[in-house]
Structure 1
Amino acid sequence: MSDLYITGVHPWGAELSDVEIRDGRIAAVHPAGGPAPTGVEVVEGDGRQLVPSFSDVHVHLDSTRLGLPWRPNDSPGGVWSNMLHDRAHWREGPVPMRERSTHMLGLLIAHGVTRVRGYAQIDADCKLERLEAVAAARETHAARADVEIIAFPQAGLLREPGVPGLVEAALREGATVMGGIDPCALDRDPVRHLDIVFGLAERYGVAVDVHLHEPGELGLFSLGLIIERTRALDLRGKVTISHAFTLAHTPPPQLDDVLAEMAELDISVATVAPPGRGTLPLTRLTEAGIRVGLGDDGQRDYWSPYGNADLLDRTWQLAFTNGFRNDPQVEHALAVATWGGASVIDPSVPALRGVDDRPGVAAGDPADLVLLDGEAPAAAVQDRLPHRTVIHAGRVVAHDLALV
């Protein structure tokens, strides 16, 4: 594995330093200006900020038109209606989904992502076709990023015949996370839906990720069932709630009780930083001990015209929707988008210890890093400049928004 010596960077805004990387990990952090070891590749830091690379924990790699000609968005709104709209059009693109997924994953990496948890839609229409596209993207970029694939029943598990069998086939053929979605609102049979989700997860020894758009008391009901199954099967650290909009609507002290249960079972949360009533109380989640990661969601697809595969843009959105103004708060959003997401994907990675925790750039940490242009970490989030260098496992994989 190539060794690196990074000169002149500010680790999380600290004093100017040189960083020595050996065997895929940070070996030492030195005061800037010393001699680089002989025979080592040198990366010029140019006074940039050094932070952990981004972790995209919620991205639909099989749902994108990035790189294709602009198509005016005509999505009808609503989970089921949008799903049907996507079903009617996703094959229409002039480029096959395999190439679109590979292109989009490359864009994520070029912008600073080296850890991905991505969805592959499984349903009665596409069967395993979209899984195959995401798997091809993972293989193409295997040296640039670590990718987990979620077998995701976007149209539910029960509304159409044969879907549980297809999802199980996806787990046999390379998916590493079992997905679920709105057990009450979509499938209208939460017990049966979650029995399938958790039953397959237990059978194949994989993690669980449940899309939970359900608001208010309905969402709390589904969340309660998920908590029960997590406890009964002892799946601590292996269950993620995506979106979790109900947590945005739950008042204290009820919210405190729910968060305490989630923290006890190490149930994590993936957010895409939605505005309005879907905005999660990020600081409260972190202070409660919840692992929280950030995702890009769908990227300019048949659901929505938004998205450019830049998780730094989404980090700005996370800070903005939470009303963060001072530098420590904005830096916390950046910590969630980088190290926080890594801890969601891999529960052996320590969770953020609080809003002031800035891990990932010390000796012994993995050399999955990104150099961001800016006078301070918060400035890098605000300016989102293109002069970036992306390092995965001690190797430069992208520079200035282009893959290496």
Structure 2
Amino acid sequence: MLISNVRPWGQTPIDFEITDGKISSVSPHDAALPTAGAIDGGGRLALPSFSDVHVHLDSTRIGLPFREHTGAPGVWGMMLNDRNNWRDAEVSLPQRVAETLGRMIAHGTTRVRSYAQIDIDCKLEKFEAVLSAKEKFAEHADVQIMAFPQAGLLLEPGTVAYLEESLKLGATVMGGIDPCQLDRDPVRHLDIVFELAEKYQVDVDIHLHEPGHLAHFSTELIMERTRALGMEGRVTLSHAYELGNVSAAATQRVMEGMRELDISWATVAPAVSGKQFNLAAMTEAGIRVGLGEDGQRDYWSPYGDCDLLSRTWQLAFTHGLRQDELIEHAAAIATWGGASIMDRNLTRLRSTSDRPGLAVGDRAELVLLGAETVTSAVMDRGSDRTVIHDGRVVADQLKLL
């Protein structure tokens, strides 16, 4: 495939050649080249496609009528709201999950790490719905599924057996959540998470909503297990927005541990009070940072629109970014940053000016955007998009092909 006249990260127009799903050559745009069978980029931006590394496909209500938000505060109250309502939706869960994943791909996301809630209520039903959607779109996107104990590991007997069954059936990430605050037994909670991860050779991703010092304590326990089991490069902290909200010294210690053990951070760009991790500081420290949409207009919140470019805007806004380089860095996190979490063989972002993903030898995972600059693309979030996965056009103008 030839892709002509595109501007990588908004720079000078070039032509890409793609062979066997990888970029095989990059050269200055030549208007005299034959265009038969080529994709005319029309001077659009070229970015690596988006990577959503924190999405709950299993609870989506995308495409359904808005409903009154009935959730109670806190993780447990919100979980019960989902548990009490998800079976009563207007269409089946597999249909909702597939529709949502399809919309994400159409908007430019070709790498997805989705949670699949597993507990004694839904058992493997939500996991199976996400697995079905993954299989349906196997030629459109890479999808990782996390076995996720949204209701905790220890509060309801039988949960762990269902989680282990999902790992046998193809889940590739083992999840955990608030080891101190939810299960109130962090040692046992994390022992189970890491034992299952080691047994099935999968990654770990811990939801961490805990406040200040409690979040730091849980993180110390996570680091201990990562080091002891040799799981460097296979652990992610999701949310973790309180780790930057105790003291500068405490935050620095956590960042040093994350860098040493290659523990990544997945954020959903929440509007929270207090200090979050600084995006530039995390990147300069060598810590992988990725972005996700979290819920998709579900029983937890009315937010989410399947468009990671919208969430990139939110990431820039909630971190107070104004300079072009920093807003472009937010786009780099939303694209390459998440990709490097899902595939640790990919190099991590090195600085706020690093713009990888479009060089010879890189996978042809691309999104072409009609915009003047990367910053304007983030601000305007237009519909002129062409999505390429493994060297094949899989969506155009927000429609799947």
Please tell me the TM-score bracket, short chain as reference: over 0.9
Structure 1 equivalent of residue 390 of structure 2 = 393
Q: Give the distance between the partners of 1:37 and 1:239, measured in 2 at CA.
A: 47
- CA shift digits 1:106-130 (9 cap, x unpaired): 0110000000100000001000000
- CA shift digits 1:105-161 (9 cap, x unpaired): 001100000001000000010000000000000001000000000000000000001
Among candidates 210, 231, 235, match of residue 239 of structure 1 = 235
| Contact kept? 2:41, 2:368, Cα under 8 Å | yes
Q: Give the distance between the partners of 1:138 and 1:37, measured in 2 at CA.
A: 37
Structure 2 equivalent of residue 87 of structure 1 = 83
What letter corresponds to residue 189 of structure 2 in structure 1? H
Q: CA deviation at 1:248?
A: 2.8
Structure 2 equivalent of residue 15 of structure 1 = 12
What letter corresponds to residue 67 of structure 2 in structure 1? R
Among candidates 219, 224, 227, match of residue 228 of structure 1 = 224
| Contact kept? 1:8, 1:46, Cα under 8 Å | yes
Among candidates 95, 98, 101, match of residue 99 of structure 1 = 95
Q: CA deviation at 1:33?
A: 2.6
- CA shift digits 1:204-228 (9 cap, x unpaired): 0000000001120000000000000
Structure 2 equivalent of residue 49 of structure 1 = 45
Unmatched segments (≥5 aa) in structure 2: none
| Contact kept? 1:28, 1:363, Cα under 8 Å | yes
Q: Give the distance between the partners of 2:246 and 2:371, measured in 1 at CA.
A: 37
Task: Assess, with a 3 A threshold, how the Cα gap between structure 1 residues 196 and 37 changes in structure 2: closer, same or farther.
Answer: farther
Among candidates 297, 300, 311, match of residue 297 of structure 2 = 300
Q: Give the distance between the partners of 2:34 and 2:225, measured in 1 at CA.
A: 53
Q: Give the distance between the partners of 1:393 and 1:186, measured in 2 at CA.
A: 41
What letter corresponds to residue 358 of structure 1 in structure 2? R
Among candidates 176, 181, 187, match of residue 185 of structure 1 = 181
Structure 2 equivalent of residue 320 of structure 1 = 317
Structure 1 equivalent of residue 336 of structure 2 = 339
Structure 1 equivalent of residue 58 of structure 2 = 62
Q: Give the distance between the partners of 2:310 and 2:70, measured in 1 at CA.
A: 24
- CA shift digits 1:62-114 (9 cap, x unpaired): 01110112212222221000000100000111211001000000011000000
2:277 corresponds to 1:280 = yes
Q: CA deviation at 1:257?
A: 1.7
The share of aligned pairs that are identical, in percent, is 59
SS at match of 1:45: strand
| Contact kept? 1:291, 1:343, Cα under 8 Å | yes
SS at match of 1:296: coil
What letter corresponds to residue 244 of structure 2 in structure 1? A
2:348 corresponds to 1:351 = yes
Structure 2 equivalent of residue 155 of structure 1 = 151
2:381 corresponds to 1:384 = yes
- CA shift digits 1:303-339 (9 cap, x unpaired): 1001101000000000111110010000000000000
| Contact kept? 2:244, 2:251, Cα under 8 Å | no
TM-score by length of 2: 0.98
What letter corresponds to residue 72 of structure 1 in structure 2? E
What letter corresponds to residue 399 of structure 2 in structure 1? A
Deviates more, 1:154-163 or 1:359-368: 359-368
Q: CA deviation at 1:28?
A: 1.2
SS at match of 1:246: coil
Q: CA deviation at 1:37?
A: 5.9
| Contact kept? 1:36, 1:42, Cα under 8 Å | no
What letter corresponds to residue 68 of structure 1 in structure 2? L
Q: Give the distance between the partners of 2:175 and 2:34, measured in 1 at CA.
A: 47
- CA shift digits 1:266-318 (9 cap, x unpaired): 00010000013274321111111110000010110011001101000000000
Alignment map for 1:261-280 (pairs within 5 Å):
261-277=257-273, 279-280=276-277
Among candidates 9, 14, 31, match of residue 28 of structure 2 = 31
Q: Give the distance between the partners of 1:182 and 1:35, measured in 2 at CA.
A: 59
Q: CA deviation at 1:34?
A: 4.1
Alignment map for 1:199-214 (pairs within 5 Å):
199-214=195-210
Q: Give the distance between the partners of 2:294 and 2:133, measured in 1 at CA.
A: 17
Unmatched segments (≥5 aa) in structure 1: none
Q: Give the distance between the partners of 2:247 and 2:10, measured in 1 at CA.
A: 36
- CA shift digits 1:205-261 (9 cap, x unpaired): 000000001120000000000000000001011000000122231321221121011
SS at match of 2:395: strand
SS at match of 2:183: coil
Structure 2 equivalent of residue 174 of structure 1 = 170
Structure 2 equivalent of residue 363 of structure 1 = 360
Among candidates 135, 143, 149, match of residue 139 of structure 1 = 135
What letter corresponds to residue 214 of structure 1 in structure 2? E
Q: Runs (4+) of structure 1 moved beyond 6 Å? A: none
Q: What is the count of residue pairs matched by the alignment? A: 400
What letter corresponds to residue 308 of structure 1 in structure 2? D
SS at match of 2:273: helix
2:122 corresponds to 1:129 = no
Structure 2 equivalent of residue 289 of structure 1 = 286
Q: Give the distance between the partners of 1:218 and 1:27, measured in 2 at CA.
A: 49
Q: CA deviation at 1:17?
A: 1.2
Task: Assess, with a 3 A threshold, how the Cα gap between structure 1 residues 92 and 235 changes in structure 2: closer, same or farther.
Answer: same
| Contact kept? 2:267, 2:290, Cα under 8 Å | yes
